Structure 1
């Protein structure tokens, strides 16, 4: 067993049946005899959040929500239970040392990639600081594109150390990614200071506001971004900060704001993203289940987003291989 990956404190007793729930579909990695199509990694870190956050509790809340969803997607009339998804566990976190936590995250992702080099990687945060070490693990000589769904640029300076406001800045300053290969979609309103706009211009980060997205249309906008990235990068990493959603749809987010996306818009974006062969990994970050509604409104939205990404990949795989 890895020194930096531990078993989650919660797991389901799986029951295979015709009407399969997600809780019965996703396997602990030890129970899956075949190579997984998708590897799921929990990253329960929130000490590096600028806002007080219990995002470290989200991986467990996420797993508990699986009983509410089935493997049948009625929008496309497809059952995607054939997709093999393995839950490998959670990254071990240090109680106080954020840099050690980040080191563990990077090491854990490297181990996952070495063990399952052909799988698709899904990381469940945790705050947005986890993205930097996850992307660093992917580097290995590859040119990486980042597709970021976010209300914020996450380009704060690093004078106060790594936080959920600095992951993109960390990657740019370290030369892990190029600004021209970063596309931030969903920015809106009054939540990015002039210094951050200046940083985005300095690094040539691509800004696509929510207003622009709606004017262009989701399918066309994603097609344009994917085409641009395909001409430059080897792989694409997708990071989904749930604060991109309007506070009405995602109250369980420390930095929730009015004026953001609707859930259906995020789901449609991820469905389009899932069609790309270049996309190799995705993370979902900044969800605090302690702030959520009694009905777990935000947790359910993220699980829906996660499943939308996977069903899109499944359909794309089936179409590509003609099975």
Structure 2
């Protein structure tokens, strides 16, 4: 008996699509054990699912309509409260099991805090060449509040422990130590100012190879996404974000997986952040389908 059979809790389906085998496998990961400012991201998987049920299925980025689609929505992981190490182990095992059981699908994970990307990347291992991270923050601290494994350090652990390339997009909030680490490590970074010229940005996507995309919703400006634990002004607008993601899909790189993290329903306004998260996931599904159709 696998992790999913033991620890996956059934939920309503994302966007209320019928649950069945499809091109997408979705798992909620309600993990927020290391959040520091405004906790509550563990409620995001259910909130995003619920809000997405009220969205239309037309993809403005691809022209596809997804209303007749199915989705393999596995539900939410049940995680031990307060046990970060065990929680990370369960997430890694679950991500690995999804890849084994549903090898021809695009895995989609809804967090939860950004630390969940670390065990997911461990599960993907050498099957990913490049991790693309959209985030207002670098999350490259060596430790934070005496912890080496938390939402502010996850990317440092990925860079140090895993053999893959990293491209960070949309940042605008740094500590001195993080900037020093970027310069020393040579980590590729496109900050918020670099995104003004999308054609130049798209040149960075030519040699990504097998790509995993991790999206912290706080990369979007708080005017569009107020429901986050660590809001940072001067962010991206949603349409620019989706256009950049679409260029990654169209670059010839194979997108191996996608996660969306850090939605906090407890501080949201009229569910607009959950709705935006749901819309982004629908657009990513449409982008993935359009690439499959083109092949």
Same fold (TM over 0.5): yes
Q: Does 1:246 align with 2:207?
A: no
- 276, 284, 289: which one aligns with 2:260: 284
Cα deviation per residue 1:195-223 (whole Å; 9 max; x = unaligned)?
10011122211111111111x21x541x3
What do you get for the CA RMSD once the two structures are aligned? 2.0
- 70, 73, 92: which one aligns with 2:59: 73
- Report 1:103-114 matches (<5 A): 103-114=89-100
Taking structure 2 as the reference length, the TM-score comes to 0.92
Q: In structure 2, how many angstroms separate the alpha carbons of the residues matched to 1:112 and 1:208?
A: 31
Displacement of 1:8 after TM fit? 3.7
Bigger Rg, which one? 1
Displacement of 1:251 after TM fit? 0.7
- Report 1:52-67 matches (<5 A): 52-67=38-53
User: Which fold has the larger relative contact order, with Cα–Cα distance below 8 Å and residues 6 or more apart in sequence?
Assistant: 2
Q: Does 1:192 align with 2:174?
A: yes
- Report 1:24-173 matches (<5 A): 25-27=17-19, 32=20, 34=21, 36-74=22-60, 76-81=62-67, 83-139=69-125, 141-158=126-143, 159-173=146-160
Question: What's 2:2 paired with?
Answer: 2
Q: In structure 1, how many angstroms separate the alpha carbons of the residues matched to 2:68 and 2:124?
A: 27
8 Å CA contact 2:38–2:230 kept in 1: the answer is no
Cα deviation per residue 1:34-62 (whole Å; 9 max; x = unaligned)?
4x311001110011123231000000101
8 Å CA contact 1:274–1:310 kept in 2: the answer is no
Displacement of 1:95 after TM fit? 1.3
Cα deviation per residue 1:240-282 (whole Å; 9 max; x = unaligned)?
0111111111110011111111111122222333335411101
Which deviates more, 268-277 or 52-61? Answer: 268-277
8 Å CA contact 1:9–1:60 kept in 2: the answer is no
Q: In structure 2, how many angstroms separate the alpha carbons of the residues matched to 1:246 and 1:299?
A: 14
Q: In structure 2, how many angstroms separate the alpha carbons of the residues matched to 1:157 and 1:209?
A: 21
Which deviates more, 263-272 or 93-102? Answer: 263-272
8 Å CA contact 1:41–1:89 kept in 2: the answer is yes
Unmatched runs of 5 consecutive residues or more in structure 1: 13-20
8 Å CA contact 2:227–2:268 kept in 1: the answer is yes
Displacement of 1:74 after TM fit? 5.0
Unmatched runs of 5 consecutive residues or more in structure 2: none
